[in-house]
Amino acid sequence: MDLYSETILDHYRYPRHRGSLLRPSARVVQHNPLCGDVIKLDIAVRDSKVVDTRFLGAGCAISQAATSLLLDSIQGKNIRSLERLTRQNVIDLLGISVSKAREQCAQLGLTALQKAITMLKQKRKR
C-alpha cells in the first residue's frame, strides 16, 4: 500500500502545527464539498516572513497529512515565494502519486494557503 506511506501516516497521526493563533495575519476556512473535509488555517506574517502557522481540521489521512507537511515546509519563508507553490509541490511533499479522485484531498491545504496569501496581499494594498 504505497499511498499510505510511513510519512503520511505519521503526519496524519501526529499533525505538525496543529492549533490556532490568537492574532493571525490571515485565517481561512476551506471545505472540500465532495467529502466534507475541512481545514482552518491560521498564518502569522512579520516583515513578509511566515513566523507561525497553525491548522485545525477534520478529514482523511491524505488531506490532513498534506496540510501538515505543507505547513512544515513554509516556516520562515518569504510569502512572495509561497505564491509560486504549485500542486506538484504538494505531491512532491507527499512523495506519492494520488488518483484524480484523491487529488482534491491532497490540495485542500494548498488551496487554503493560497487564499490566505491573497488576503494578505489585499490587506497590504489597503
Output 76 or 101, the one with its CB closest to another protein.
101
Binding residue for another protein (CB under 8 A) from 48, 49, 51, 58?
58
In sequence order, which ranges of 14-99 are alpha helices (DSSP H)? 61-74, 79-82, 87-94
Establish if 97 lies at the interface with another protein (CB under 8 A).
no
End-to-end CA distance of the chain: 49
Binding mask 17-36 for another protein (x = CB under 8 A): -x-x-------------xxx
Establish if 62 lies at the interface with another protein (CB under 8 A).
yes
Helix then strand then coil, in percent of the chain rounded to 5, is 45, 25, 30
Q: Which helix (H) or strand (E) holds 45?
A: strand 37-46
Q: Where does this chain bind another protein (CB under 8 A)?
A: 1, 3-4, 9, 12-15, 18, 20, 34-38, 40, 56-62, 64, 99, 102, 105
